[in-house]
Amino acid sequence: MKEIAPSEALRKWFGHTPERWPEFQRRYTAELAKKKELMTELKQAEKTHGTLTLVFGARDKERNQAIVLMNLVNKNKQ
């Protein structure tokens, strides 16, 4: 689902700078709020298959787009 990735402008702004992580999360979450149909599709895929595999290309395993997506998907389960 390439369409669910952060915008190019947001990725470039973030540049995997740890200090920008909180703001990246906020901005990416705002972008995802405008992509409700894709989030619904992502959640449906998890229901159908039982597991989601989120792929990312960042070296930082703790601060990347997959973490934001995982947190949003898990938030709605609670």
- Tell me, what DSSP letter sits at residue 15? T
Domain spans of the chain, in order of start: 2-75
Distance separating the N- and C-terminal Cα atoms of the chain? 24
Structure tokens given for 78: 């609670």
CA distance 62 to 39: 21
Instruction: Give which of 27, 33, 36, 37 is closest to 7, Cα–Cα.
Output: 27
pLDDT tens for 7-43 read: 999 999 999 999 999 999 999 999 999 999 999 999 8
Average pLDDT, the chain: 92
Task: Evaluate if residue 78 carries a pLDDT over 70.
Answer: no
pTM of the model: 0.89
Q: How far apart are CA 43 and CA 76, in angstroms?
A: 9
